[in-house]
Amino acid sequence: MDLLQGPERASGSAEAAALEVRRVSKAFVGRAGQATLALRDVDLSVERGTFVSLIGPSGCGKSTLLRIFGGLEQPSSGEMRSATEQQRGGLPSVAFVFQDYALFPWLSVVDNVAFGLRMAGVGKRERRDRARTWLARMGLAGFERSYPEQLSGGMRQRLSLARAFVTDPDVLLMDEPMAALDAQTRLLLQEDLLKLWEETRKTVVLVTHSLDEALLLGDRVVVMTARPGRIKLDLPVPLPRPRTTSSATGVAFSRMKADLWAALRDEVERSLEHS
């Protein structure tokens, strides 16, 4: 089944899209000169203020697509429109949150959060104030002078979220931010993220391997095919908001999860055959 709902949706609401790719392909050339086609003809549009979850088998190009959205990678062909093109007073309009936190080990917790503001030329007092506010909001008050290695995995990821939110970006790109966490810590962080999103209504693209997480957080779940990645299914998630982790139950939820797995399963098998 090749349900290209994304592009159809995009054509009707291109004005409101914060991120958009059209017929985007990406090839990487390896050391021996061999080409790997990571993405092929991807059409995807993310409307402003929506939360899109992106799932697909390992190696299908999810991180590549996220990096293209964030301006860290250029497509080999196709068109891309992103909020990265609109800088606001030196502040980045896009922030990343990664699985491995990507924190600076030599900077204290508060300086890690304030770093982006410093790069943007925000004054010392203001950046400290803003960093402290976000640390308190993420339950990290009292740890300002600690260093990342002194924090637990869950705390580090909350620190990464504080660092991403402190610059007030338009778009948050999250690449498996909770994959390294234990199941209970992950549930708590999902609740934090739901609450943050309700309050800020940022445009978010979240890459995850968890179907539950994708459905719980997303307004839509986009399923990619095995490499070269294309959009296979674009599933709206009409669960009411505000949501909590207990929203991940019930008949409608189970049905959507079954639909996702039906679309994903073949792709995971295909990607395993080729690996």
Q: Min. distance of Cβ 266 from ligand ATP in angstroms? A: 16
Single out the residue of 105, 111, 147 nearest to residue 131, CA to CA: 111
User: Under the criterion CB under 5 A, does residue 63 sit at the interface with Mg ion?
Assistant: yes
Nearer to ligand ATP, 135 or 231 (CB): 231
Nearer to ligand ATP, 116 or 228 (CB): 228
CA 79 to chain centre: 20
**Which of the stretches 57-65, 108-116, 137-145, 163-171 binds ligand ATP when contact is defined by CB under 6 A?**
57-65
> What is the dihedral sign for C-alpha 36, 41, 45, 50?
negative
Q: Min. distance of Cβ 176 from Mg ion in angstroms? A: 7
Which residue pairs from 83-91 have beta carbons closer than 8 angstroms and sit at least 24 positions apart in sequence?
Answer: 83/18, 83/19, 83/169, 83/170, 83/171, 83/203, 84/171, 86/170, 89/120, 90/119, 90/120, 90/121, 91/116, 91/117, 91/120, 91/122, 91/167, 91/168, 91/169
**Which of the stretches 52-60, 87-95, 120-128, 215-223 binds ligand ATP when contact is defined by CB under 6 A?**
52-60
User: Under the criterion CB under 5 A, does residue 64 sit at the interface with Mg ion?
Assistant: no
Nearest residue by C-beta to Mg ion? 63
Sites of contact with ligand ATP (CB under 6 A)? 28, 30, 36, 38, 56, 58-64, 227
Sites of contact with Mg ion (CB under 5 A)? 63
